[in-house]
Amino acid sequence: MPRIAYVNGQYVPHRNARVHVEDRGYQFADGIYEVCLVIGGKYWDLDGHLARLERSLKELKMRAPMQRASLIVVMQEVLARNHLRDALVYMQVTRGVAPRNHPFPSDIIEPALVVTAQRFDLDASDAQAEQGGSVITQLDIRWGRVDIKTVALLPNVLAKQAAKSVGAVEAWLVRDGKVTEGSSSNAWIVDQNGVLITHPKGHEILGGITRENVIVCAEELQIKVEERPFTTDEAHGASEAFLTSAANIVLPVTQIDGKPVGAGAPGPVALRLREAYKARARRLA
């Protein structure tokens, strides 16, 4: 059965999905996106993702393509037409189609909306978490407002490719000697005293929705959390490390730049937080 995508008011076969050559997302990366996880037909953290989508639109002075309730209907329809119950749903909004010119076009231009879905295998994700993964560090060369979830991801792509080329699952980005976040995830370490450390929210990182809920889970488990930058030396000397994102949930990091973290195996804190997050997400879905 062919995949179905929603493109600007129409549900079309994925292979036939198209955007205009003068769509500003294509021309200028003038657009934003979100990725939501669906398990058993229920969204995890949907309100958080839609709130962040709306914030990104506001920060870029971009109109919403439709009201939140209507967007949820479209998302549900895409899932139904693809016969998916475990999926990643991708939403992209651009400023729309206009003759190529750097300034914003007229307000009469309609924003463009694309929604797609792809199958997600939670069992495979759990198996990956039991094994863990390695990360490398890369210089953070992104622009100064990465708190806005834009489609301008070329530096992230280059970092992710550098990781893939050496068999790592992620690249942790470093600015002024401190880890900001991963190319598509938030970065965490556990120090030798059992304290969780992750970079604070601000313009330097994209505040992950999974990140926010992991902090709540840690507090419920009475695990101390410090939101502060940490250095690469601290990361190499940590007892544990992990990353968080909608697609990875909580993924233990076992090596950084080829050096083992702690015992070189998934740590108990990360695995406890993964299970706590999954239980919380199911409870609130």
Helices 122-131 and 268-284, interaxial angle, to 10°?
A: 160
> Which residue intervals of the chain are DSSP H helices?
24-28, 46-59, 68-81, 122-131, 154-165, 209-220, 232-236, 268-284
Does residue 113 contact residue 66 with C-beta atoms inside 8 Å? yes
Is 13 exposed, middle or buried, given 0-12, 13-18 or 19+ CB atoms closer than 10 A? exposed
Q: Which of 58, 61, 149, 164 is catalytic?
A: 149
- Of 207, 227, 190, 213, give the one whose Cα is nearest residue 277: 213
**Catalytic residue status for 149:** yes
Q: Which residues pair with 175 in a beta bridge?
A: 178
> Of 112, 108, 87, which Cα lies nearest the Cα of 36?
87
Burial class (CB in 10 A: 0-12, 13-18, 19+), 32: buried
- CA angle, corner 36, sides to 34 and 39, nearest 5? 175
Could you list the active site residues?
149
